[in-house]
A and B are shown apart, each in its own frame.
Chain A
Amino acid sequence: MSKILVCYKWVLDEQDIRVNAADASLDLSRAKYKISDYDKNAIEEAVLLQEGQGATVDAVTFGGDAVRQSLKDLLSRGPDKVYYIADPAADKADGYVTAGVLAVAARKTGPYDLIICGEGSADAYNQQVAPRLAASLGLPAITYVQSLKLEDGRVVATRKLGDCTEVVTVEGPAVVSVVPEINKPRIPSLKQVLAAAKKPSEEIKIADLGLSPRQLAAKTVTLTVKGFVMNRKNVLFKEPAQADNVAKLAAALAKEGVC
């Protein structure tokens, strides 16, 4: 039976982030976490393979302490087991560090026939963990996958590349990154949520991965983060009759010179 690993990131939900208009700083205080949207597609794809042809699905995540909150949500989406590396080092990690940590973890818990990642994360969208992970593990990478099959120890994937598609076949294991069109992640059923409580989760300590301080030091550091402030007129036409609002809009557009 095939063994699949799916990687996911526990990210702040950008819909809850507010931009302070005064200084463009970000107010994260009300932001909750979620499984990164693209990774929901990765998880769903692993689970579809599990259902379709029988496979065991492990999941792995590297994040700050908050990552512990993600385990139940993750397991209710179908994977059999989750490994997590919860360490403050994750808060400053870039793609280099993250892929390095995941590669060593995957060596420890593997080997796998297939490793699936989202194409990027919803927060930083660096789009580099899957191909870096592949390179670190000495496996072929198939990025931007829109349909995926596992057949007789072969990975067959169709990639979506902006102006074309192509089919890539890999003999043996591969690391793939998937695009959102590949599937529609389901909302976990009550049964799945209940089943999640009985599934195993296992912490991997970062210290046990044997990474050097150099491998844990990000190559990229963040200097500043500033929210976008939209400077728009924000005029709302609020007459009781829509015909009056439309007349006002038409007048405004004429004045702007766009109609």
Chain B
Amino acid sequence: MPGILIFSENNAIALELVTAGLGLKATMNHSLCAVALSEADATALAAAGADKVVLLTGQDWPEGCAQPIAELAARELAAVILIGGTARGKDIAAKVANELDAGLVTEAQTIEIAEDKLQTTRLKYGGLAVACEATVLPAVVTIAPRTFDKAVAGGGQGQITSLAATGGDPRVKVSELCPIERQGVDIAAAARIVCVGRGLAKKEDLTLAEDLAKALSAEIGCTRGIAEDYHWLPVERYIGISGQNIKAELYLSLGVSGQVQHVAGIRDAKVIVAVDTNEKAPIFAAADYGIVGDLYEVAPLITAALKK
């Protein structure tokens, strides 16, 4: 019987894929097979509802699992292969799709089966638009973290088997695995955010935003240039399609022009406020409230007003 295959090297994301996979299973009537890289992960996936879990052993580098996963997908006649949309996952997904001569949808936001094809939605043009696409089966799909809720452990009785991954590419050597230190803030979960853009003239002026953030009990976020080009703030604080998606009740920007790639990350904010000298800046079209003016004049006034 054709199946649905899921994989993520990160088990929290794999559990989200179980939710997505069970959704498909309800319409497709196919069994759900998960691939895991550790015994603990395999047990958790089986408990969460995977009908079958294959424990892949003998491969330290997740990217090296592409070949065995593709072989497994072929053997299982998998019609849909869901892979967690991490950087590693996207690398693996492309190789699996290539091996299976299949299409690959990157970071699908919704998935369903319609007319014997996989129908998905995803962002296009830097977040400006949503494309609805149909892919012939078998199809590979990556799904960004937190797109689906984690499946919770129920009375799942999925059977666990193990499979030794063979091969590995002798030309490739991986070394110096080094975790990136996070500074603890999770902008994605912050309730209030003061966001600075390149309207800020120099790093020292961040104090202006910090004062306002303090008055608002907000976290500081920024645009990509502030983090990636100027390195004034850590990269995990930048908001947008290539950075964080925020869900704050209040987002207040200082000197942010509001290009689409940035705005794509603030759409879920409840109230959007913008301060910018340029009345034509796109941020005002995306904002609930705006003040056209110099942030060096306006930000301290807002801070003072809030302190009252």
A residues bordering B, Cβ < 8 Å? 12, 14-15, 17, 19, 26, 94-96, 99, 120, 122-128, 130-132, 134-136, 140-141, 143-144, 158-172, 180-181, 184, 218-228, 230, 232-238, 242-243, 245-247, 249-250, 252-253, 256, 258-259
Chain A residue with the shortest CB-CB distance to B178: A165
Chain A residue with the shortest CB-CB distance to B282: A15
- What's the Cα separation between A181 and B93 when bound, in Å? 23
B residues bordering A, Cβ < 8 Å? 63, 86-88, 90-91, 93-95, 97-99, 101-106, 119, 123-136, 139, 169, 171-180, 182, 192, 216, 228-229, 242, 249-250, 259-261, 263-264, 267, 270-273, 279, 284-293, 297-298, 301-302, 305-306
Q: Distance in Å from the Cβ of B266 to the closest Cβ of chain A?
A: 10
- What's the Cα separation between A34 and B177 when bound, in Å? 36
Chain B residue with the shortest CB-CB distance to A251: B305
Chain A residue with the shortest CB-CB distance to B272: A232
Task: Judge whether A259 and B216 touch: CB under 8 Å.
Answer: yes
Q: Distance in Å from the Cβ of B176 to the closest Cβ of chain A?
A: 4
> Can you sample 9 A-B contacts with CB below 8 Å?
A144-B87, A163-B180, A167-B174, A218-B103, A222-B132, A228-B128, A228-B267, A253-B289, A259-B306
Q: Distance in Å from the Cβ of B152 to the closest Cβ of chain A?
A: 24
Neighbouring A residues of B135 by C-beta, 8 Å:
219-221
Task: Judge whether A160 and B131 touch: CB under 8 Å.
Answer: no
Neighbouring B residues of A170 by C-beta, 8 Å:
171-173
Q: Distance in Å from the Cβ of B137 to the closest Cβ of chain A?
A: 9
A17, A141, A220, A228 pick with most chain B CB within 10 angstroms: A220
Task: Judge whether A232 and B287 touch: CB under 8 Å.
Answer: yes
- What's the Cα separation between A122 and B174 when bound, in Å? 29
Known: A220-B105, A253-B250. A161 touches B87 (CB 8 A): yes
- What's the Cα separation between A59 and B139 when bound, in Å? 31
Task: Judge whether B272 and A132 touch: CB under 8 Å.
Answer: no
Task: Judge whether B139 and A132 touch: CB under 8 Å.
Answer: no
Task: Judge whether A184 and B229 touch: CB under 8 Å.
Answer: yes
Task: Judge whether A131 and B91 touch: CB under 8 Å.
Answer: yes
Neighbouring A residues of B302 by C-beta, 8 Å:
246, 249-250
Q: Distance in Å from the Cβ of A120 to the closest Cβ of chain B?
A: 8
Neighbouring B residues of A171 by C-beta, 8 Å:
171, 173
Q: DSSP majority for the A interface? A: mixed
Task: Judge whether A160 and B273 touch: CB under 8 Å.
Answer: no
Neighbouring B residues of A136 by C-beta, 8 Å:
98
Task: Judge whether B87 and A162 touch: CB under 8 Å.
Answer: yes
Chain A residue with the shortest CB-CB distance to B301: A246
Of the residues B93, B130, B242, B272, contact of A228 by C-beta under 8 Å: B130
Task: Judge whether A219 and B139 touch: CB under 8 Å.
Answer: yes
Neighbouring A residues of B98 by C-beta, 8 Å:
96, 99, 131-132, 135-136
Task: Judge whether B171 and A225 touch: CB under 8 Å.
Answer: no
- What's the Cα separation between A204 and B190 when bound, in Å? 52
Neighbouring B residues of A126 by C-beta, 8 Å:
104, 106
Task: Judge whether B128 and A19 touch: CB under 8 Å.
Answer: yes
Q: Distance in Å from the Cβ of B192 to the closest Cβ of chain A?
A: 7
Task: Judge whether A127 and B94 touch: CB under 8 Å.
Answer: yes
Task: Judge whether A166 and B91 touch: CB under 8 Å.
Answer: no
Task: Judge whether B97 and A128 touch: CB under 8 Å.
Answer: yes
Known: A166-B178, A232-B288. A17 touches B90 (CB 8 A): no
Neighbouring A residues of B250 by C-beta, 8 Å:
253, 258-259
- What's the Cα separation between A107 and B208 when bound, in Å? 56
- What's the Cα separation between A159 and B176 when bound, in Å? 10
Of the residues A14, A135, A161, A246, contact of B95 by C-beta under 8 Å: A135
Q: Distance in Å from the Cβ of B281 to the closest Cβ of chain A?
A: 11
- What's the Cα separation between A227 and B129 when bound, in Å? 4
Neighbouring A residues of B264 by C-beta, 8 Å:
228
